Amino acid sequence: MGRLLTETRKDRLATVLIRTGGLLVILIVVGIVVDIGLEAVPLFLGARAGALEPVACEVPPLAAGSDPRREILWEVGPDAVVRFPLGPDTEPLLPFTEPTPLTAADHEIGGLLTLLADDGRVAVGRVRFRDDWSGGDRHTVASWRPAAPTLAPPAGVRFVGAAANAGDDGLLLAAWAADGALHLARWEGDDQAWSTAAITVPGPVRVAAVAEGLGSVALVLADGRLLVLDGHSHAPVAVESGLEPIARARFLIGGGTLIAAASSGAMYALLEVPRAEVTNHGSSAVQIDGIRLGPGEQAVVADTELGAKLAARPEVAVVRAPPVWQVARELPELGSEPTVIAPGSRRRDLLVGGADGTVALYHSTSGRRLLRHHWGEGPVTALALDPKGDGDVAVVGGSLLRRTISNPHPETTLRTLFLPTWYEGYAAPAWVWQSTGGSDASEPKLSLWPLLFGTLKATLYAMLISVPLALAAAVYISQLAPTWVQTVVKPTLELMAAVPSVVVGFLAALWLAPRLEQALLLVLLGGLGLPTAVVVALALWRLIPGRRRRRLPEGSEAGVLLVAVVAVLGTAALLAEPLEAALFGGDLRRFLFTDWGLRYDQRNAIAVGIGLGFAVIPVIFTIAEDACTAVPRSLVAAARALGATRWQTAARLVVPAASPGLFAAVMLGLGRAVGETMIVLMAAGNTPLLDLSPFNGMRTMSAAIAVEMPEAPVEGTLFRVLFLTGTLLFLLTLVLTTFADLVGRRLRERYGRF
């Protein structure tokens, strides 16, 4: 009796331990997922602003700004003297070498100042800050660095407005006179001289803006028309019509985005759309992005990669055509007439000030208005976003004010992450993943759809290869194969699961992919020939009379199948080279690109499908074989006793009875393929393309995390987007397993009688 009680206590203790362990595992997994998800939550939080801080100044400034650390505030007064109202004890700076009455001051990206004197002279330069460690403590030293010598207007001309910007090849200054004449002056750094050109414009100029790359100049005329000139040829560039009368316009960092603010408060984000002139010199019609061109016809087409698409078509000539500025997004309205636009120095965010003292913070890519506050009575006459975007400075009704801003992730919304977004340099909205660029001017493109598509594409090709082979092997080994085949094949397939993923990826990328490229037609013929071999083998087996089939030893059908496979593959090997020479000019890859527009990459979906399929086959085979073996032998024996052949028994009894297990095996293999990292990282080429073609690669969610995470700044936008990607990957796996469980239950209910 005592021994029985002891065993009962042991059973209860074991039950408690098992349940506790299972519950802890569930809680730990949930905790990990929640922690990963919480890292992504700040992506969708809005911007926050601190309290307004008034700054005492002698006279209302014409322009103001801050150093990158937000320790020093500078302002330019009407006397053209740069002062520092908050200290430290820094001598005032004199851009004109002497106090000069100013008419206007313009603050551009990167702290570039354009000062217009009352006599028409223009000074362009920057207020620079550097650290001085003399004496052991850090001191910030400010200095004025001219971007070019002071420009005096031509004889008989007096400038009443000016705007400038700097680029790699010098400085471009747009200045206009009271009579409406526009002068474009370029400072050539190599020649160390100004070159000025008078431009005729269809009306007096109200304000102007110069793009950072000096490629474009935007003019707002007195009647509200928006005019864009090419910065080199000075020719007008087409601008989308139908805009409301414009009051202010400003280029953002990089120069590919133009913000236009209407007098009514409406806000537009215009992008420069590249175009190409295409001429068909061939004797037959061609189809180009939905446009049909007959022989000798030409058309102007807006396309981002048109030249690359037509590079291998000698009958089609592609010449660059003038771009056009189109409205990509309509931003939320300001609510009053805009008086000043201040672009950010590192991102595509911008501040807009209104005539009623309103200051609003926008982001161009996301199209959001992040902040909107009333700063005071009177118009906003000067506005600047701090260099790091963590604060702003404004002159409202003659008062100098500043505040702090917390705006870490302005570019991420559900729309920019999952829907097509119109980026600079693109002809239309698109899904693009390009997390980094060559400079701060590069626009981050963080669409997750290419990564999700790449994950599904890699999984699709892996399952197309692994599922038929694994399920057929499982049914054959469990029901049809002789004992000696089972003892060899089953352990071999199960040992495949022990091969590390990095080894499989290494072989797929460095050994398999080059050989696939060399024997592409043979691989395609072999892929089509294998199903043909199975059909031929079954036909040959059926041709053998029943009496003779019964006399053959078990496993003879495998020999017939092997003979058919060898015959089909041997035929494909013999015909591959002659067929390639006769049909494709000896180069199938060139034919695919020139005639069908399919680019062949060495690391492509075929290599990924084979490598990833190799890793998935053991998972599917092991579970599927166990499911087939679990079918009661009494049912199999009864079917055989009633006259069913082994094939009939396997197809009509074993497979339906084991279908819940077979489906579970496929879904587990699917989950293994979705979460695989090393194979797709090494063999997929890591190109985030939206193309189902088997001849190019992809980038999966797991590969993106592995590649990008080591270089992502902690708590930056990319860092949190990668955590969001991990959360989505977990949710995708959860959806797949939940779906598998639901379907498995239905199958068990249907075939439960077996």
Is there a contact between 54 and 401 (Cβ–Cβ < 8 Å)? yes
Across 117-126, b (16+ Cβ under 10 Å) vs e yields beebbbbbbb
pLDDT digits (tens, 9 = 90+) for 165-184: 988 778 999 999 887 789 99
Is there a contact between 567 and 526 (Cβ–Cβ < 8 Å)? no
Mean per-residue pLDDT, 272-279 = 82
What CATH number belongs to 49-274+322-406?
A: 2.130.10.10
Is there a contact between 72 and 51 (Cβ–Cβ < 8 Å)? no
Mean per-residue pLDDT, 465-472 = 90
pLDDT digits (tens, 9 = 90+) for 296-317: 777 777 766 655 555 556 667 7
CB atoms within 10 A of CB 236: 15
Cα separations in angstroms, 486 against 67, 304, 483, 565: 76, 56, 5, 20
Poorest-pLDDT segment among 378-387, 545-554, 666-675, 730-739: 545-554
Q: What is the pLDDT of residue 5?
A: 61
Q: What is the largest CA-CA distance in the chain?
A: 120
Instruction: Give me the residue label for tokens 């073996």.
Output: 629
pLDDT digits (tens, 9 = 90+) for 387-433: 888 999 999 988 999 999 999 999 999 999 999 999 988 888 999 99
Query: Three-class SS of residue 410?
Result: coil
Q: What are the boundaries of each domain within the chain?
A: 49-274+322-406, 449-750
Q: 486 pLDDT exceeds 90? A: no
Q: What is the pLDDT of residue 318?
A: 74
Q: What is the pLDDT of residue 232?
A: 87
Gap between the Cα atoms of 702 and 675, Å rounded:
6
pLDDT digits (tens, 9 = 90+) for 489-537: 888 888 888 888 889 888 988 898 888 888 888 888 888 877 877 777 7
Mean per-residue pLDDT, 156-164 = 89
Q: 431: which 2 tokens?
A: 């899904």
Question: Is the pLDDT higher at 252 or at 135?
Answer: 252
Q: 370 pLDDT exceeds 90? A: yes
Q: 589 pLDDT exceeds 60? A: yes
Q: What is the pLDDT of residue 309?
A: 55
Confidence class of residue 637 from pLDDT cuts 50, 70 and 90?
confident
pLDDT digits (tens, 9 = 90+) for 188-245: 877 778 888 899 888 899 999 999 888 899 999 999 999 999 988 889 998 988 889 9
Query: Three-class SS of residue 434?
Result: strand
Is there a contact between 247 and 337 (Cβ–Cβ < 8 Å)? yes
Confidence class of residue 250 from pLDDT cuts 50, 70 and 90?
very high
Contacts of residue 35, defined as CB under 8 A and 6 or more positions apart, other chains included, come to: none
Mean per-residue pLDDT, 357-366 = 94
Average pLDDT of the chain, as a whole number = 85
Contacts of residue 66, defined as CB under 8 A and 6 or more positions apart, other chains included, come to: 72, 73, 74, 384, 386, 387, 391, 393, 402
Q: 253: which 2 tokens?
A: 């960092």
Q: CA nearest 678: which of 598, 614, 746, 752?
A: 614
Cα separations in angstroms, 448 against 112, 370, 427, 699, 707: 36, 22, 20, 11, 15
CATH superfamily of 449-750: MetI-like (1.10.3720.10)
Q: 722 pLDDT exceeds 90? A: yes
Is there a contact between 257 and 269 (Cβ–Cβ < 8 Å)? yes
Cα separations in angstroms, 159 against 151, 166, 175, 669: 10, 20, 6, 73
Handedness of CA 662, 663, 667, 673 (dihedral sign): positive
Confidence class of residue 456 from pLDDT cuts 50, 70 and 90?
very high
Gap between the Cα atoms of 631 and 207, Å rounded:
83
pLDDT digits (tens, 9 = 90+) for 28-69: 988 888 888 899 999 998 899 999 999 988 888 999 999 888
Gap between the Cα atoms of 473 and 622, Å rounded:
10
Q: What is the pLDDT of residue 660?
A: 84
Is there a contact between 380 and 357 (Cβ–Cβ < 8 Å)? yes
Q: 741 pLDDT exceeds 80? A: no
* pTM summary value: 0.87
Confidence class of residue 567 from pLDDT cuts 50, 70 and 90?
confident
Query: Three-class SS of residue 91?
Result: coil
Is there a contact between 365 and 348 (Cβ–Cβ < 8 Å)? yes
Confidence class of residue 461 from pLDDT cuts 50, 70 and 90?
very high
Q: What is the pLDDT of residue 383?
A: 94
Question: Is the pLDDT higher at 548 or at 367?
Answer: 367
| DSSP summary character for residue 41 | G
